[in-house]
Structure 1
Amino acid sequence: MPIFDYTQFPRAGLLRRLASGVYDLLLAIAVYMVAGALGFAIFAIFAAMGLVDMSGSEHLIEVQQSSLLYSGLIYLWNLLWVAYFFVYFWNKSGQTLGMKAWRLRLQNTDGTLISKTTAIKRLVPTLLGLGNLWLIIDRTNKQSLQDKMTNTEVVLLSLAANRGRL
């Protein structure tokens, strides 16, 4: 397998990033749904063990929906799994599945993979791709808001460099 100098690849533009984001959004929705099913199953187990007060409700979903605490915990659980999805792939290979499809790689500006801490720092400004809109303003550097905040970049890989990754 050839070794590539990842500092030599050009930074990715807005349209390619947004297209990759659509793919990743679909995957994030799937992760959210699976996490929701698992979270609700755990909630049901807790209810069966008597750890959840049913408050006279017949169905568990009524208990969850009527409680800010229970709803908040389940939604937080789901969002943490979606966050984990991105942090894991960004740290492991610099590519989510959507990024792989569009030949994009997230990396430090020196071409190395980002740390888990850096990945976590990227999450909020990356939310729904809104940080990428900065590319409309900063067309020459092709760095999104989250890139600037974390000293990272998203590059466009060659076909050869993208092959076999992930």
Structure 2
Amino acid sequence: MSADYARTGFARRIASLIYDGLVVIAFAMLTTVVYLLVVQGAISLGWLSLGEAEDVAALIQQNTLLYVLRDVLLVLVSLSFFGYFWSKSGQTIGMRAWRMQVRRLDGSLPGFWQSAWRSLCALLGLGNILVLVDIKNKRALQDYLSGCEVVTLSKEDNKKIYQALD
């Protein structure tokens, strides 16, 4: 791949974020279902009791520990999604569709923990607003805090990355 790519602007980043948001929502739904089954299993084994709650979902809402644990799991799933994809190819599903890649400033791929940190710093996508202000560099808050950049790839280079994953 050639070394010089333009940094990605705001609109393309948001379009990719919408794609990825849908995937993360699907993973969150799956995680929630599994969590509900685990809590139900704990109730069946006698480790937990419904008490006054009418069902498992109500128990989770009433029990602070179960509620916080669920939220932590959902955040971990989100961070893991971005951490995995960015460290493996520099692209999530949405980024692949929009021919974007996250990379370190030296052009290499970020590691898992750097990618997870970048995801956390994105503040649910709000960090991208900085791209509108930082016209010269086109870097978002998460790019600055993680030492990364997002570039727009050519169609050929995007295809090479996709094929290399097979």
Match of 1:39 in 2: 35
Letter aligned with residue 15 of structure 1: A
Instruction: Tell me the TM-score normalized by structure 2.
Output: 0.92
Cα deviation for residue 56 of structure 1 reads 4.4
Identity score, percent = 35
Structure 1 residue runs of 4+, over 2 Å off? 56-62
Using the alignment, how far apart are the partners of 2:153 and 2:101 within structure 1? 7
Instruction: Could you tell me which runs of 5 or more consecutive residues in structure 1 were left unpaired when the two chains were aligned.
Output: none
SS of 1:8's equivalent? coil
How many pairs are equivalent? 162
Pairing 1:62-141 to 2, within 5 Å after superposition: 62-141=58-137
Cα deviation for residue 20 of structure 1 reads 0.5
Is the 8 Å Cα contact of residues 105 and 154 (structure 1) preserved in structure 2?
yes
Letter aligned with residue 56 of structure 2: L
Match for 1:24 among 20, 38, 49?
20
Letter aligned with residue 100 of structure 1: R
Instruction: Tell me the TM-score normalized by structure 1.
Output: 0.92
What is the aligned-residue RMSD (CA, Å)? 1.4
Using the alignment, how far apart are the partners of 1:132 and 1:60 within structure 2? 37
Letter aligned with residue 71 of structure 1: Y
Instruction: Could you tell me which runs of 5 or more consecutive residues in structure 2 were left unpaired when the two chains were aligned.
Output: none
Cα deviation for residue 38 of structure 1 reads 0.8
SS of 1:94's equivalent? coil
SS of 2:125's equivalent? helix
Higher mean C-alpha displacement, 56-65 vs 98-107: 56-65
Letter aligned with residue 129 of structure 1: G
Letter aligned with residue 139 of structure 2: Q
Is the 8 Å Cα contact of residues 36 and 56 (structure 2) preserved in structure 1?
no
